[in-house]
Chains A and B, each alone.
Chain A
Amino acid sequence: MRERYVAAVDQGTGSSRCLVFDRAGRIVSFSQREHRHIHPHPGWVEQDPAEIWSNVEAVTGRALRDANLEPSDLVALGIANQRETTIVWDRHTGQPVHQAITWQDTRTDRLVRELAGAGEVDVRKITGLGFATYFSGPKLRWLLDSVPGLQQRAQDGDLMFGTMDSWLIWRLTGRHLTDVTNASRTLLMNLETLDWDPEMLELIGIPRTLLPEIRPSAEVYGEARGQLAGVPVAAAIGDQQAALFGQACFMPGEAKCTYGTGGFMLLNTGERRVLSESGLLTTVCARVGEEPPSYALEGSIAVTGSLVQWFRDNLELIGSAPEIETLARTVEDNGGCYFVPAFSGLFAPHWRSDARGVITGLTGYITKGHLARAVLEATAWQTREVVEAMTADSGVSLSSLRVDGGMTANNLLMQFLADVLDVPVVRPIVAETVSLGAAYAAGLAVGFWSGREELRSNWHIAAQWLPNMDSAARDRGYRKWRKAVRRAVDWLDEEDLPQDS
């Protein structure tokens, strides 16, 4: 019998990738291409949707060619994507009306403050989120307010809004839709009805005509056109929810943390929507076909891997990201230096948009090696804050942490993470869980896999780091970290806020 495969497109913050998996969940082919980040003003981060689409086409083509595959060898294509990044395009010409506004962009700071002060609506109960620059709804409103003529074109029904999943699905199949996980990041979807919420649309000022239809994360949306002609596009799922799926965290109580540009910990809470008291988000885990949806608690950390990139590109102390481990190992410890990377404020559990980055504890003794340590340790300490919030909200304490993402290649960081959490840190055999999750969802939708049990049997431990730090050192380090965080918050003044025109 001819071997068949599932392809996954991981349209991430830093790059677009295509991975092809076989039935055992093993990587058969891989291709990646980075795209530009556009910084028109401090705090503004844009990407070019046309460049991203052409990269997606290029990497899918390349991944198939490298493995000598034809589109007909694929049973399905699944999409995992950077979440919240907002695109509006013309439904007739297909042209974006503006660059994509990414999730890291803080231009909506003033708008978000106004919305938060506006009213009676229980945003947390309806959407599971709080008002923050992170989410799509206010970004869309900013576009409507700021791009000349957009309001009218929206009223006339000439425009389409979408997150990255919608943009790609529309390009691939011509259908305008999004999945529940992506929709749950807009501040516009009602977590209970899984439909656009009239009260939120009214509050943020969004005409419903712009919005895509909300569909399950795994179902056949349509057949691809173009170079993938005939391949069923069968899943779309936000990248962090995809990673949870790829880690086979299907049961309530199972959690993972993914380290890419940012860090994202998700805890599956099953069919129960847990509203956080500790600065976490409530979000949709996934919805497979007509099954009831499952929910998750999420702790989002804005800056983890991107701090290493910043260290490489802006300070030029290393030539490549992995070299940070080499540099960090030139010293024994952080020398008392702490780095709080609040570049666009602090996300979970603090949600302080007025915070900005600080490096504290500097003395004449500090070398670039200590700075490299502080950069890596920042990821671990931020994870500890999120883990504590998860424990407070769910009442379940962690017995081990499943990790994935590019930063898991950093042994020094993974060991330090185990040390400061005081639990084993476990990496599964496929570190590419985002792509794997998208492939799993697509494969389930077309019946390539029999069910979740088959997927679970693909999960194996590839590496494990055991805690090895005395508790006094751990407590001292965490105390210092929290002092450093106090020095990062309350930095921005009213006059620093971007002026909305």
Chain B
Amino acid sequence: MPGNIQSIERAAAILRLLSGRNRRLGVVDLAGELNLPKGTVHGLLRTLQHVGFVEQDKDSGKYQLGAALLHMGSSYLDGNELRTRALNWSDSLAARTHEAVRIGTLHDSRVLVVHHVFRPDDSFQTLDVGSLLPAHATAMGKVLLADHPYAADELIGQGLEAFTDWTITAPDRLREELTLARERGWAWEVGELLAGQASMAAPIIDRTGRTVGAMGIVGKAERLLTTRKPRAELLSYVREAARAVSHELGAIPW
């Protein structure tokens, strides 16, 4: 068996350290941990930065995992943390819109439901937390894919499954839809997953500007839409709530 490549081993060790409890480290910290000269570590960091695997924080000069790496891996923000942070605003959104609220994160090109508030009409409903939804057929999924092109490419590569006659299955149409979602800062769908049902969602953004989740409402198309468009009032509540959660996340010191 040929020997391992030393510089890749060292780069991996850096990434492992940056994914640990201290999510931000300086060159000196890393050099100390790895028992390597500062110059060597600096060289490795420069290459890792070039491919987007690490980023340097402007204020502190310290290094952290980069967006490209985070997009490749599983969900970056702990879903349980997200739910806790979002609890008040998701309740408020359900109360305002009289619809069910869900929060989702991207998980292997699908949407993992991390939080669900029942439609407040006291009818029997079951918790969806933990279930996986197709990303291209839900408003939450479109919002998440819009900011995660790697995940969108992967999903398109696997083929877009049709759930109803209205599911978007053509890659170009999905890409257009994602561009639109990115520009507008929200997404919607009607009957693309389930006939007669509609959903709308907006991104939850963290302090670095990344979309870490999507928050939206889901319900009967006739209640959510007017002349085949999302009702403006409901949409503004959804966007306001997602903004409030984003604001809340901005306060988290990473």
Q: Give A contacts to B, CB under 8 Å.
A: 24-27, 30, 319-326, 406, 408-411, 429-432, 460-465
Check A30–B88 contact: CB distance below 8 A: yes
The count of residues in chain B whose C-beta lies closer than 8 Å to any C-beta of chain A is 26
- Which residues of the partner chain A approach B127 to less than 8 Å between Cβ atoms? 411, 463-465
Output the least CB separation between B25 and chain A (Å): 15
With A and B bound together, what is the CA distance between A432 and B91 in angstroms? 10
In the complex, the chain B residue whose C-beta lies closest to that of A460 is: B120
Q: What A residues does B92 contact at CB under 8 A?
A: 26-27
Query: Given that A462-B94, A463-B118, A464-B127 are contacting pairs, would A431 and B88 also be in contact in the complex, using a CB cutoff of 8 Å?
Result: yes
CB of A461 within 8 A of CB of B118, answer yes
Tell whether A429 pairs with B80 under 8 Å between CB atoms, given A462-B118, A462-B120, A464-B125: no
Using CB atoms, name the residue of chain A closest to B92.
A27
Supply 19 further A-B pairs (C-beta < 8 A) apart from A409-B80, A461-B118, A464-B125: A26-B92, A26-B96, A30-B88, A320-B81, A321-B84, A322-B83, A326-B79, A326-B80, A409-B87, A411-B83, A411-B127, A411-B130, A429-B95, A429-B117, A431-B88, A460-B95, A460-B121, A460-B122, A462-B91
Q: Which 8 A-B pairs have the closest CB atoms?
A: A460-B120, A322-B80, A322-B84, A325-B80, A409-B84, A322-B81, A26-B95, A462-B117
Centre residue among A324, A431, A460 by max chain B CB count within 10 A: A460
The contact sample of 15 A-B pairs, CB cut-off 8 A, is A27-B91, A30-B88, A321-B84, A323-B78, A323-B80, A326-B78, A409-B84, A409-B87, A429-B117, A429-B118, A431-B87, A461-B122, A461-B125, A462-B120, A464-B126
Write out the residue numbers on chain B whose beta carbons fall within 8 Å of the beta carbon of A463: 116-118, 127
Interface residue ranges, B against A (CB under 8 Å)? 21, 78-81, 83-84, 87-89, 91-92, 94-96, 116-118, 120-122, 125-127, 129-130
B88 to nearest A CB, angstroms?
5
Cα(A463)–Cα(B116), bound, Å:
8
* A410 with B80: CB separation less than 8 A: yes
* Contact residues in A for B21 (Cβ distance below 8 Å): 319
Establish whether residues B84 and A429, one from each chain, have CB atoms under 8 Å apart when the complex forms. no
In the complex, A411 Cα to B92 Cα: how many Å? 19
Q: Is the CB of A430 within 8 A of B84?
A: no
In the complex, chain B residues whose CB is within 8 Å of the CB of A30: 88
B80 proximity list for chain A (CB < 8 A): 322-326, 409-411
A247 to B80, CA, bound (A): 24
Please give, as numbers and ranges, the residues of chain B lying within 8 Å of A321 by CB-CB distance. 84
Contact residues in B for A431 (Cβ distance below 8 Å): 87-88, 91
**What A residues does B121 contact at CB under 8 A?**
460
Min CB–CB distance A201 → chain B (angstroms): 42
Q: Which residue of A lies closest to B23 (CB)?
A: A319
With A461-B120, A462-B117, A463-B117 in contact, do A24 and B95 touch (Cβ < 8 Å)? yes
Inter-chain contact B116/A323, CB cutoff 8 Å: no
- CB contact between A429 and one of B79, B83, B94, B126 (< 8 Å): that residue: B94
Question: Which has the most chain A C-beta neighbours within 10 Å: B21, B80, B94?
Answer: B80
Assembly CA distance A322 to B79 (angstroms) = 9
CA of A161 to CA of B94 in the docked complex: distance in angstroms?
43
What residues of chain A lie closer than 8 Å to B78, measured between beta carbons? 320, 322-323, 326
Beyond A30-B88, A460-B122, A463-B127, whether A323 also contacts B81 by CB under 8 A is yes
Nearest CB in chain B: distance from A64 CB, A: 16
Which A residues are CB-close (under 8 A) to B129? 411
Of chain A, the residue at the smallest CB distance from B81 is A322
Closest residue on chain A to residue B90 by CB atoms: A462
Q: B118 contacts A464, CB within 8 Å?
A: yes
Whether B88 lies near A432 (C-beta < 8 A) is yes
A330 to chain B, nearest CB (A): 12
A320's nearest neighbour on chain B, judged by CB, is B81
Residues of A within 8 A of B89 (CB): 27
Q: How far is the CB of B248 from chain A (nearest CB, A)?
A: 9
User: Is B120 in contact with A27, judged by CB distance below 8 angstroms?
Assistant: no
CA distance A411 to B128 in the complex (A): 11
Question: Chain B: which residue is nearest A458 at the CB level?
Answer: B95
Question: Is there contact, CB below 8 Å, between A409 and B120?
Answer: no
Shortest Cβ distance from residue B241 to the other chain A in the assembled complex, whole angstroms: 11
